[in-house]
Amino acid sequence: MKAVIQRVKQASVKINGNLHSHIDKGLLVFLAISRDDEEKDIDYMIEKLLNLRIFSNEEGKFDYSISSIKGEILIVSQFTLYGDTSKGRRPDFTLSAPIKMAEETYNKFLERLKQKYSAVKAGVFREEMLVSLENDGPVTIIVESKTNCSK
C-alpha cells in the first residue's frame, strides 16, 4: 500500500462536475493498493495516517497529528502511484492490485479507518475525479506499508 499524504487547508472531489466530497483543514490522501497487500498493510497505513505528526505547533515544529487537531481526512483511490516508468514511455501498472482485489481492499481500508476516526470522506473507486486542494505548507509525505510492515 502506498499513500501520498498532503496537509491541506481544504480539498474536494468533483465527479461529473458535481461536488462529491469536501474537507477543510486536514489530510488529502491519495491511496494505492498493490497486488501484495495484506491485512497488516491496512492496519499499518491507518495507524500511520492517524498518528503522523505533520501539523505544526506554535513554534512551527511538526508536533500534532490529524487526531490531535481533530482535522478531516479525504481518501482518494490512486492506482497510478504504482506506475513503473523505468522502461519505455508508458507507465507499467503490474504492481497495482487487480481491480476486484483493489476495490475490496480499498473499501476495507475505508471501513476500518471510519471505525477509528469519524471525520473521513472519500472519492469513488474507479471514477474519473477532479481533485482540488489547497496544500498547507506545502507538506507532502509518501508512506509505503511494504517498507515498514515487517518491522
- Any residues with CB less than 8 A from the CB of 96 and at least 6 apart, and which? 32, 33, 34, 35, 79, 80, 82, 83, 102
Grid cell at residue 97? 492490485
- Is 55 annotated in the active site? no
Q: Which of 6, 30, 55, 79 is catalytic?
A: 79
Q: Which of 80, 85, 140, 147 is catalytic?
A: 80
- Is 79 annotated in the active site? yes
Question: Are the beta carbons of 13 and 29 closer than 8 angstroms?
Answer: no
- Is 85 annotated in the active site? no
Q: Which of 6, 30, 78, 105 is catalytic?
A: 78
End-to-end, the C-alpha distance of the chain in Å comes to: 15
Catalytic residues: 78-80
